[in-house]
Amino acid sequence: MVQIDSNVKSHSRMVQKKLDVLAHRPTKSEAEEAVKVLIRWAGDNPEREGLRDTPDRVIRSYDEFFAGYWQDPEKILRTTFEETEGYDEMVLLKDIEFESHCEHHMVPIIGRAHVAYLPKNRVVGISKLARVVEAYAKRLQIQEKMTSQIANTINTVLKPKGVAVVVEGKHECMGTRGIRKPASSMVTSTMLGAFRLDASTRREFLAFIGKC
């Protein structure tokens, strides 16, 4: 009996998900009409000169803001290197800047992520860690979920001894509306494996990112 690789199964699920989304995705013209409705709801005229091209600009911006829906974070991590000369200490990429959007109000979350793992047999190119952060950030998000998604994906694909992710974010939904606390920031973390079980390993990571 032929056993199908789990990576192939995961990729197939991702492809099917994209096809399902595309099947129900509004057309560009439908999306532009929706923007016009919002402009009218706000109290302005979408046909006046200054707003005439706004719907097209908004849709093109959304293509950038939400590009993560069309990326497979697990696929990003699949190219790994085994020739590490026995290296088994922490790999840390810190201060990964990101821009996301709050799923409750669709306003920006601006922040940075710190990602570390303890390799078992394989390492991944450091740019791939930043790309995984970007793939999850470029979606409608809550910071807690995004933090877990980054950590769990790295853990699933690389199968390291441990994964640590800390995310710091400033939420415009708090700074520009409601409680209006623009100076506040949110910190979330997910610790897996050795980072969760070993206090000294966790402290080392937190010291490296200036949180200890």
Active-site position among 32, 101, 134, 143: 143
**Is 143 an annotated catalytic residue?**
yes
**Is 93 within 8 Å of 209 (Cβ atoms)?**
no
**Is 204 an annotated catalytic residue?**
no
Is 211 strand, coil or helix? coil
Q: Is the pLDDT of residue 200 over 90?
A: yes
What CATH code is assigned to 8-68? 1.10.286.10
Active-site position among 171, 172, 204, 212: 171
Closest-CA residue to 95 (of 74, 79, 116): 116
Is 45 strand, coil or helix? coil
Active-site position among 30, 47, 97, 104: 104
**Is 104 an annotated catalytic residue?**
yes
**Is 171 an annotated catalytic residue?**
yes
Closest-CA residue to 164 (of 133, 198, 205): 205
Active-site position among 32, 101, 102, 149: 102
Strands 91-102 and 140-141, bridge-based pairing? parallel
Domain(s) labelled CATH 1.10.286.10 in the chain stretch across: 8-68
Per-residue confidence band for 6, with pLDDT thresholds at 50, 70 and 90: low
**Is 105 an annotated catalytic residue?**
yes
Active-site position among 30, 97, 103, 144: 103
Single-letter amino acid code for the residue at 111: G
Is 92 strand, coil or helix? strand
Domain(s) labelled CATH 3.30.1130.10 in the chain stretch across: 76-210
Q: Mind listing the pLDDT tens digit for each residue in 25-81?
A: 999 999 999 999 999 999 999 999 999 999 999 999 999 999 999 999 999 999 988
The CATH T-level fold of domain 76-210 is: GTP Cyclohydrolase I, domain 2 (3.30.1130)
Active-site position among 99, 105, 172, 204: 105
- The pTM of the full predicted model, rounded to 2 decimals, is 0.88
Q: Mind listing the pLDDT tens digit for each residue in 105-158?
A: 999 999 999 999 999 988 999 999 999 999 999 999 999 999 999 999 999 999
Sequence-ordered strand ranges (E) for 68-107: 80-81, 91-102
